[in-house]
């Protein structure tokens, strides 16, 4: 059976039963959701899998070897799958050697899982580190060809996922206009609210063969954004939450499912801010700009009047943690992985470049009237996204000052906006000192050009660059990832794209490259 037919069959079974394929039959394979690894350190990493519910309370064996054939097994043990963890299994394998490749697998009832590969981080004398930076993978919007392309490149040290690993919308919601034709209708059909809902959606995503291939090939370092919970969420709520108590229950459900289904090391403080070092070359701090300390987004009216600009994004505890990590950092490069755009992103006057009657995601998800109002209001040049750091300008200044104080060679890795962007940000108190922000396009989610289609012969992306001269690259059309290569003397970032997400036939292209020479 061809790959497309396999996906079609899986989707049909899920559609008939209301469940993803992994839950559709008692005869389903034991390890239907593949394997994954994550959060690599010098001496440990997480390995993950899930067994079919029919294997509840069965013994699951795991093995770690130095070779793919498992001739030289260095560690092994046993686990038990239980309903309280949704039959997921996650283990922090320790006492490993630095900068070493390992292979892992699971076994249950005489069936082996796929084989996974992971590599520990270097402890010293690290001359290069290479990351694949991704964000915003909406299952109904298209195929995960970006993940397949990354799986085909074995030399990444890690995949850095900056959030929106999944989306919470139901059928007919955001980004679903091609879902039926692609056999990728959301499961469950409703918008996610309960623990069961979130678990089913994670299961659907992990059933994707391209996502499985990437997880089996590379360790992932991930943070959540809003859609793992609810659109435009903050620490105390979301626009759709009916009460603080309802939000606490929903957030707890989403958080539990995330920890069950993701190869992530759980913090004692119930946060996802974590730190990784690649020898003495690269320090990577992962932040939570969504739930840890973020206050509610300002209203656009108040913001235009100069009000509500003092809201917290990271929160004091996380800011203190970040400064503590950076103050003891001796690495050549400092990278920050976080969710939302840091650079100012003001609206150009779109009335001459954006087609008010074009095929707009604004018009599709809200209304044609709303889309045309966006174009008309762009003449005022206000920030486009108050959900990003633009809506938290005082917090942004504090964040940039911390980063600039402790590193001459700082890079911010960002997702969320579904658009490939390269920017140079000035430190407020030292405008000559620049921080590079690398923003990845989405895996499948609609980008800037999908929201703001251009008149023929015009370019909305070019208009944003002209309005925001600190931006050197804006690509709101193509889906892809950033290939980021850190070396002692330089950092190179390549925006890689796939030319199709509605067919399994695609090509990979390099659209833009940014090189930054190290200082000091």
Residue pLDDT, tens place only, 434-443: 999 999 999 9
Strands 508-517 and 490-498, sheet pairing: antiparallel
Is the pLDDT assigned to residue 292 strictly greater than 70?
yes
For residues 348 and 324, the answer to whether their CB atoms sit within 8 Å is no
Sign of CA dihedral 239, 176, 503, 15: positive
Is the pLDDT assigned to residue 18 strictly greater than 90?
no
Is the pLDDT assigned to residue 336 strictly greater than 90?
yes
Give the pLDDT mean for 1-22: 32
pLDDT, position 17:
28
For residues 221 and 276, the answer to whether their CB atoms sit within 8 Å is yes
pLDDT, position 342:
98
Q: pLDDT digit string (tens) for 223-268?
A: 999 999 999 999 999 999 999 999 999 999 999 999 999 999 987 6
Q: How many CA atoms lie within 13 A of 210 on its CB side?
A: 20
pLDDT, position 430:
92
pLDDT, position 268:
61
Is the pLDDT assigned to residue 131 strictly greater than 80?
yes
Q: Which of 421, 35, 450 is nearest to 218 (CA)?
A: 35
For residues 31 and 109, the answer to whether their CB atoms sit within 8 Å is no
> Could you tell me the residue ranges of all domains in the chain?
275-474
**DSSP string covering 56-73:** TT-EEEEEEESSTT-SSE
Is the pLDDT assigned to residue 270 strictly greater than 80?
no
Q: pLDDT digit string (tens) for 84-103?
A: 999 999 999 999 999 999 99
pLDDT, position 269:
65
pLDDT, position 322:
97
Is the pLDDT assigned to residue 520 strictly greater than 70?
yes
For residues 459 and 353, the answer to whether their CB atoms sit within 8 Å is yes
Is the pLDDT assigned to residue 11 strictly greater than 60?
no
Q: pLDDT digit string (tens) for 451-462?
A: 999 999 999 999
Whether pTM exceeds 0.75? yes
**DSSP string covering 400-442:** HHHHHHH-SSEEEEE-SSSSEEEEEEEETTEEEEEEEEEE---
Beta partners for residue 471, in sequence order: 423
Cα–Cα distance measured from residue 461 to residue 448, given in angstroms and rounded to the nearest whole number: 8
- Tokens at 197, concatenated: 């809902």
CATH of domain 275-474: 3.60.21.70
pLDDT, averaged across the chain:
93
Cα–Cα distance measured from residue 184 to residue 139, given in angstroms and rounded to the nearest whole number: 7
Is the pLDDT assigned to residue 23 strictly greater than 80?
no
Q: pLDDT digit string (tens) for 189-235?
A: 999 999 999 999 999 999 999 999 999 999 999 999 999 999 999 99
Q: CA dihedral defined by 379, 385, 390, 392, rounded to 10 degrees?
A: 130
């Amino acid at each position: 059976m061809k790959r497309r037919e396999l996906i079609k069959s899986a989707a049909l079974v899920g559609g008939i039963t209301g469940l993803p394929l992994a839950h559709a039959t008692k005869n389903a394979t034991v390890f239907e959701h593949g394997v994954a690894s994550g959060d690599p350190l010098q001496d440990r990493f997480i390995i993950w899998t899930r067994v079919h519910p029919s294997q509840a309370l069965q013994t699951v064996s795991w093995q770690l070897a130095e070779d793919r054939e498992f001739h030289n097994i260095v560690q092994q043990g046993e686990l038990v799958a239980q309903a309280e963890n949704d039959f997921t299994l996650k283990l922090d394998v320790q006492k490993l050697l630095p900068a070493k490749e390992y292979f892992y697998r699971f076994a249950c009832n005489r069936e082996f899982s796929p084989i996974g590969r992971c590599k520990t981080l270097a402890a010293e004398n690290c001359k290069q580190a290479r990351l694949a930076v991704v964000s915003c993978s909406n299952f109904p919007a298209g195929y995960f060809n970006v993940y397949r392309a990354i799986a085909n490149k074995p030399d990444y040290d890690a995949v850095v996922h900056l959030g929106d690993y999944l989306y919470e919308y139901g059928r007919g919601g955001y980004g679903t206009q091609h879902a039926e034709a692609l056999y990728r209708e959301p499961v469950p059909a409703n918008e996610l609210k309960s623990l069961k809902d979130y678990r089913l959606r994670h299961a659907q995503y992990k059933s994707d063969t391209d996502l499985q291939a990437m997880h089996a090939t590379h360790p992932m370092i991930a943070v959540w954004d809003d859609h793992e919970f609810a659109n435009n969420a903050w620490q105390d709520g979301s626009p759709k939450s009916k009460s603080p108590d309802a939000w606490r229950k929903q957030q707890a459900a989403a958080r539990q499912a995330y920890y069950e289904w993701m190869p992530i090391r759980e913090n004692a403080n119930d946060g996802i801010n974590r730190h990784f070092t690649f020898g003495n070359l690269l320090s990577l701090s992962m932040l939570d700009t969504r739930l840890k300390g973020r206050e509610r987004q300002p209203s656009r009216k108040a913001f235009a009047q100069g009000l509500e600009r003092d809201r917290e994004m990271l929160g004091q505890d996380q800011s203190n943690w970040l400064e503590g990590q950076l103050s003891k950092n001796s690495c050549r490069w400092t990278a920050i992985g976080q969710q939302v755009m840091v650079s100012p992103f003001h609206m150009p006057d779109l009335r001459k470049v954006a087609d008010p009657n074009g095929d707009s995601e604004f018009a599709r998800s809200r209304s044609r009237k709303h889309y045309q109002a966006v174009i008309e209001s762009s003449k005022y040049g206000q920030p486009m996204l108050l959900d990003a750091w633009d809506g938290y300008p005082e917090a942004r200044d504090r964040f940039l000052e911390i980063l600039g104080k402790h590193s001459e060679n700082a890079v911010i890795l960002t997702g969320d906006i579904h658009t490939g962007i390269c920017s140079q940000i000035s430190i407020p108190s030292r405008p000559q000192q620049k921080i590079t922000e690398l923003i990845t396009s989405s895996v499948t989610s609609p980008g800037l050009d999908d929201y703001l289609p251009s008149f023929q012969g015009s370019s909305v992306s070019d208009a944003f660059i002209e309005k925001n001269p600190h931006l050197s690259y804006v690509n709101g059309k193509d889906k892809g990832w950033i290939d980021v290569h850190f070396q002692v003397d330089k950092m190179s970032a390549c925006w890689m794209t796939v030319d199709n997400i509605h067919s399994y036939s695609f090509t990979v292209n390099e659209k833009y490259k940014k090189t930054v020479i190290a200082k000091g």
